[in-house]
Copies of this chain bind each other. A is one copy, B any other.
Amino acid sequence: MYQSHYFVKTLREPPKNEVSINAKLLEQACYIQKLMAGVYTYLPLGLRVLNNINAIIREEINNIGGQEIYMPAMQPKELWDKTNRWEELSNIMYQFKDKSDHLIGLATTHEETITSIIKDRINSYKDLPFYLYQIQDKFRNEPRAKSGLIRGREFAMKDLYSFHQDEEDLDEYYKKSMKAYFNIFSRVGLKSIMIEASGGAFTKQYSHEFQVLSEAGEDRIIYCPKYDFAQNIEISKFKEEDKCPKCGRLLKFSKGIEVGNIFKLGTRFSQAFGAYYLDKTGKKQPIVMASYGIGPGRLMGAIIEVHHDNNGIIWPPGVTPFKVHLIDLCKQKNNPLAKKTYHACQENNFDILYDERDVSPGIKLKDADLIGISVRLIISDKNKDKIELTYRDTKETSHHSLVSVLKELKKYYK
């Protein structure tokens, strides 16, 4: 992609109406644009990152048997009445009337919808277990949405729902989902901590949260530096100086960004909707359920909060919008080595953004830092027939032939 043809129009200054680092950087670098508080457009660069995150999520969720579906945002009040959540969630759900005076709510979550879908299509224990998920936009009537992509009023969510014969089968899958979640966070470049949590607004049942340590976090979390799995530690019981009851290490307190959560729903929803199956003895049983959420947009915000410096974004290689940012700093336009490098990267399936704009080297380098693509290749008169390769995170620089550049890229993105 030639940068002069691409819709990457960076701003000289970060936007004044944002307080969060992720929104400031993402808007300045032309990844997103604010439409109103907590509501953002994904511009071409931003959508590329979001799609990379979604692809990782899909791969890991498909790996644990997930089948993708797509449910609507608009849901009738009657659906929510079955679980008494029309009133319960009215504080955060956008609710309005259609032309025929029917009450409609914009989805904050989809337990009701999914249960209503499966109830008439599942009959027997032979149909169980199965796992349905979607990546779909949710809406929440948040009064204060000042954290950029971290707390949106309209935001993408990956929500997976699992359906089981009994608690035992659910427990097994619940553990698998934990592993998939850790894989997802690690592949997008985040270290996550799992914490046992209360149910919150959506369920009173047993649940776990996945947190990423960050000053931008809204939650105060406690964790043992030894464990990724911090479950079975009850938060309320501990103070700053306390020790881990498992290993004796001093516990740490920190701010965390919640990037995922998993809930055991039990039979609350299946009983409300009459979602039963016939067991081996022919007896009617309620389907046992769980739900599993990740916000891909929030994940993108969290990545920025963790990975940036004073000059801009530092994308982890798993989600970088392009694999290579090629920058031609030569005085003479259309440098042959630059063109050759561009085509070689394309042929080797390394998505590449090629800055061939007619602007000063200073602007090009400043934009490249801001945009934050993981690997930068510089062609310049100074470098002659060598290509300068710089990693955005370590700032480590080396000089290569084209063959050697391709080797480096293959190693880095393996």
A7 at interface by CB-CB < 8 Å: yes
Given contacts A6-B67, A30-B121, A130-B7, contact A35 B99 (CB under 8 A): no
A363 at interface by CB-CB < 8 Å: no
Q: Tell whether, in the assembled complex, residue B75 and residue A35 are in contact, meaning their CB atoms are under 8 Å apart.
A: yes
Residue of B nearest to A7 (CB): B67
Provide the A25-54 mask, 1 if CB < 8 A to any CB of B, else 0: 000001001011001111110110010000
- Contacting chain B: which of A136-144, A180-188, A260-268? A136-144
Write out the residue numbers on chain B whose beta carbons fall within 8 Å of the beta carbon of A43.
69, 117
Q: Tell whether, in the assembled complex, residue B41 and residue A71 are in contact, meaning their CB atoms are under 8 Å apart.
A: yes
Residue of B nearest to A39 (CB): B72
A241 at interface by CB-CB < 8 Å: no
Given contacts A7-B67, A122-B9, contact A72 B30 (CB under 8 A): no
Task: List residues 118-140 of chain A with CB under 8 A from any CB of chain B.
Answer: 120-122, 127, 130, 132, 137, 139
Tallying the copies of this chain within the complex gives: 2
Write out the residue numbers on chain B whose beta carbons fall within 8 Å of the beta carbon of A116.
35
| Residue in B11, B137, B141 whose beta carbon sits within 8 Å of that of A137 in the complex | B137
A100 at interface by CB-CB < 8 Å: yes
Distance of A72 Cα from B7 Cα, bound (Å): 18
Write out the residue numbers on chain B whose beta carbons fall within 8 Å of the beta carbon of A98.
94, 141, 153
Distance of A35 Cα from B65 Cα, bound (Å): 25
A55 at interface by CB-CB < 8 Å: no
Given contacts A43-B69, A74-B139, contact A132 B35 (CB under 8 A): no
Q: Tell whether, in the assembled complex, residue A70 and residue B99 are in contact, meaning their CB atoms are under 8 Å apart.
A: no
Please report A residues at the B interface, Cβ cutoff 8 Å: 5-7, 9, 11, 30, 33, 35-36, 39-44, 46-47, 50, 65, 67-76, 79, 94-96, 98-100, 102, 104, 113, 116-117, 120-122, 127, 130, 132, 137, 139, 141-143, 153-154
Q: List 30 A-B contacts (CB under 8 A).
A: A7-B67, A7-B121, A7-B132, A9-B122, A11-B120, A30-B121, A35-B71, A35-B72, A35-B75, A35-B79, A35-B116, A36-B74, A36-B76, A36-B102, A39-B74, A40-B72, A41-B69, A41-B71, A41-B72, A41-B117, A42-B71, A43-B117, A44-B132, A50-B70, A73-B154, A94-B98, A96-B96, A98-B153, A100-B143, A137-B137
